[in-house]
A and B are shown apart, each in its own frame.
Chain A
């Protein structure tokens, strides 16, 4: 079994290496046609003379290609800025589209097979043999492995993820080969060429599915965990990835029916509203659905089931955290100090999201962009940069192997903050603790991805009612004494104050 797993691991690494190597192969040749189709006419006119030399020249790496392509644009912009001709400055980011169109010369199907094929086969070869372990909690070696205890493997994975997100958000022109790799899939689904976001969605689904299979095997003794994992796999694959692409194919707006404001922070941005409003009845329906989800859906569903109905059953970020991120859940910090930081930070982001959206809507309806001392366009681009890209992506996922798998959900997600307020003050949900049975072993706290010190409640016989709890149920699964249970009942029956003594004394109450 160990040997099979080792073969799987090396096969996976081979596929991963091929995936990385792909960025170094192929060639880039710019044609006049590419410039014409990708550049705005006025930009084509001013740039064509200086890009003339590049046309027809074959580059063997994307770095020099991108450098040569960007140089004249930067030079031109510098000139405009010097002359204070602000309106002429070129803000469009052409490099990605142009580099992608200019790239060619590698055998698509072969690379697809070698990179994704080997990686998937290898990963499954690593994962499937674990079915031979008897069902039950098997966290053996979690704190002894370099991957899951902030060792060199974990740190390397973290560094890779951070770099990946930085390039994806800020310099996608360097990963055009990866995007080309999934082009045929995108064309098959929506009919359009792939963007870096399609690539991201594809990789995301791949991780959720493969690591979801791992999760299904790991928790095959727990129907709760299996259903929940199946649910996030379904919502990510079908609702978040495939359905929106198919909508495009039928000339309908790209729409993720399970995404929700304020997590989906650009829902009220002018371009989204305009697209929806211009798409007839279905567009209006989508608009109504998106609003109903957070106005009606959140309070009702959270009242009955707690925020888990979304965070650990439906949400895409949650889906990744519960599958790809599961091996890192024990790395979240459980101290009181960090809990304090968490509360400040997440409610700050919620306030930021609300203010940003209000400004955006104000601008949308009045056409005026400045309110008091704030400019709605700047506020929304700050939000997009600091929260949308840096916090939720680079830090949120890149730091999985260092700070646990729910960094974003715990410290940053404004929707989680909103769901959490409902869960804390208006919900039937709680985690019940079983009388006096707790032995304070600490498994529950350690494996809580949200950093809740579950044991602190369990050992005093107090219910766990915390706004951050996403209801993943892992505390209940890992508890060796059957102490914890996720339950819904009359909110008044929640044990909010610890009893003086946990159950154990005879009828004479101390």
Chain B
């Protein structure tokens, strides 16, 4: 009989695994079990559904017929029982069934953190992770005039933008002294602070939640900050980070035969294998025992989920492949400001590292490049309001090009649309002024240059 691969979780990591297995192996059985929705959707697009840019169906990257055509069996339901010894799991849902596997892939994603604040169970208090969260947010923000968002991360600012798009007032409580300054260097962080304020969000820096007070009918009525201030509101978004979703293994009611080693996330080796034979894990729920150099053990982003899925498919199809993500990259959008980052660019400048920062005051446009003081090799970059070409930066960082080389060829990395104002001349001018060098721009913007 054909080998049976069972994947739990139909997010980007589980689905990428399934698709790539099917590309490499035409015969095995692939079953994807997931509780949240019948089909894969893009979690990153949830905000656009709320804001009315998209309908939920638009967040589905593949048409519904795609799965049958590629013989990927979909089961909607929650897996509650695991028997790692007998290689069986049980799905509790519409189909109360036991499924046997030859290989099991855990792609369980994350869940939002809650820190047992008093009042966090009131109606109108929620995180934002799942489709169900989106639905409750839709329901509980109807008629709301003011909301409080707690936690200054990427999901927090998205929730603030969501509420603002419907004209709902927002107070944004951020524990840090500046928005996302555990990731962004100070200047970039301030740039975003100012932009948040431009969107009429009441940004409270250095402010923490103490408790949530009830209003009427079991709904939230206000929050109290650690400074003792009470802020009236009818909605509270709690976005203080996410953790690997391993609750299914900790729930006393669930049956677990055989053990799974878990720390913060499901522990995996370089081949994404857990301590159990035939059981692997990918995506947000993973904690790497030995993370690749320079990378975190738990890295909950879309792209790493995808790369893990691509890698695991190779291993499962007979080509054992270690997880080796390339040069780090990520992106986000803070209201109207697009942000891209390549390589390693920590909030605090590491020793031995130099930094160059340029911005266009009032234009929400900025570039930072970090480079090695001794060799001049570029290590990482942040771009705000300017699109950068992934391929070019990937090459520059991997090949350790010097800051001089990079600045002289910066237009090659420019990915802005045609007719957009270019800033490379100004950028290199500022670098010259600051360092006393006499560099000049040597290449032009555009794809053609990349091939010459």
Chain A positions near chain B (C-beta within 8 angstroms): 134-137, 139-145, 221-224, 227, 335-336, 432, 434-437, 439-443, 445-446, 455-456, 459, 473, 476-478, 480-482, 485-490, 493, 501-508, 510
Contact = CB atoms under 8 A, between A and B. Distances in A.
Given A143-B54, A223-B420, A489-B447, A437 B390 contact: yes
A507 B326 contact: yes
A322 B159 CA distance: 31
Given A141-B165, A439-B45, A510 B314 contact: yes
B390 A503 contact: yes
B42 A441 contact: yes
22 contacts: A134-B199, A136-B335, A139-B53, A434-B387, A434-B390, A435-B389, A435-B390, A439-B331, A441-B44, A443-B54, A456-B61, A473-B417, A478-B53, A481-B333, A481-B340, A482-B415, A485-B415, A504-B306, A506-B292, A506-B325, A506-B327, A510-B310
Contacts of A441: 42, 44-45, 48, 54, 59
A439 B199 CA distance: 25
Given A443-B53, A506-B325, A493 B331 contact: no
B410 to A, nearest CB: 16
Interface in B19-73: 42, 44-45, 48, 51-55, 58-61, 63
Nearest to A142: B52
Given A143-B53, A442-B45, A436 B324 contact: no
Nearest to B293: A506
Contacts of B448: 488-490, 493
Given A485-B387, A503-B390, A440 B12 contact: yes
Contacts of B338: 480-482
B421 interface: yes
Contacts of A135: 336
Name, among B51, B165, B311, the residue most crowded by chain A CB atoms within 10 Å (CB to CB): B51
Interface in B320-368: 321, 324-327, 329, 331, 333, 335-336, 338, 340
B331 A437 contact: yes
Contacts of A437: 303, 329, 331, 340, 390
B192 to A, nearest CB: 14
B307 interface: yes
Contacts of B302: 439
A341 to B, nearest CB: 15
Given A437-B390, A482-B331, A505-B326, A442 B42 contact: yes
Contacts of B446: 487-489
A477 B338 CA distance: 11
Contacts of A224: 417-420
A144 B56 CA distance: 12
Contacts of A145: 52
B324 to A, nearest CB: 4
Residue among A134, A439, A493 with max Cβ neighbours from chain B (10 Å): A439
A434 B61 contact: no
Contacts of A488: 446-448
Contacts of B58: 442, 445-446
B115 interface: no
Among all A-B residue pairs, the 7 with the closest Cβ atoms = A435-B390, A136-B336, A482-B387, A441-B45, A489-B447, A223-B419, A141-B52
Interface in B419-438: 419-421
A377 B302 CA distance: 61
Nearest to A148: B52
Contacts of A504: 303, 306-307, 310, 325-326, 329
B451 interface: yes
Contacts of B307: 436, 504-505
Contacts of B340: 437, 481-482
Given A139-B53, A140-B165, A437-B329, 9 more contacts: A134-B336, A139-B52, A140-B53, A436-B390, A440-B12, A446-B53, A456-B61, A490-B451, A507-B326
Nearest to A492: B451
A21 to B, nearest CB: 34
Size bracket, chain B contacts: 35 or more
Contacts of B335: 134, 136
Contacts of B336: 134-137, 221
A486 B419 CA distance: 11
B52 A144 contact: yes
A221 B44 CA distance: 24
B367 to A, nearest CB: 14
A493 B448 CA distance: 9
A443 B45 contact: yes
A140 B51 contact: yes
A438 B280 CA distance: 25
A506 B304 CA distance: 12
A435 B394 contact: yes
Contacts of A432: 415, 447
A481 B303 CA distance: 12
Contact of A493 (B198, B419, B447): B447
A506 B387 CA distance: 22
A312 to B, nearest CB: 13
A226 to B, nearest CB: 8
A505 B59 contact: no
Interface string B377-397: 000000000011111001000
B325 A505 contact: yes
B61 A142 contact: no
Contacts of B333: 480-481
Contacts of B142: none
A508 B450 CA distance: 22
A486 B416 CA distance: 9
A434 B45 CA distance: 18
A503 B417 contact: no
A366 B39 CA distance: 63
A435 B341 CA distance: 13
B44 A439 contact: yes
A99 to B, nearest CB: 46
B61 A442 contact: yes
B420 A443 contact: no
A139 B45 CA distance: 14
A11 to B, nearest CB: 23
B270 interface: no
B398 interface: yes
Given A446-B54, A508-B324, A227 B415 contact: no
A485 B390 CA distance: 12
Contacts of A456: 61
A137 B48 CA distance: 12
A384 B324 CA distance: 62
Contacts of A485: 387, 415-417
A493 B63 CA distance: 30
Nearest to B200: A134
Choose among A136, A443, A455, A481 the residue with the greatest number of B CB atoms under 10 Å from its CB: A481
Q: Which of A136, A141, A436 has most chain B Cβ within 10 Å?
A: A436
B61 to A, nearest CB: 4
B423 to A, nearest CB: 14
B434 to A, nearest CB: 27
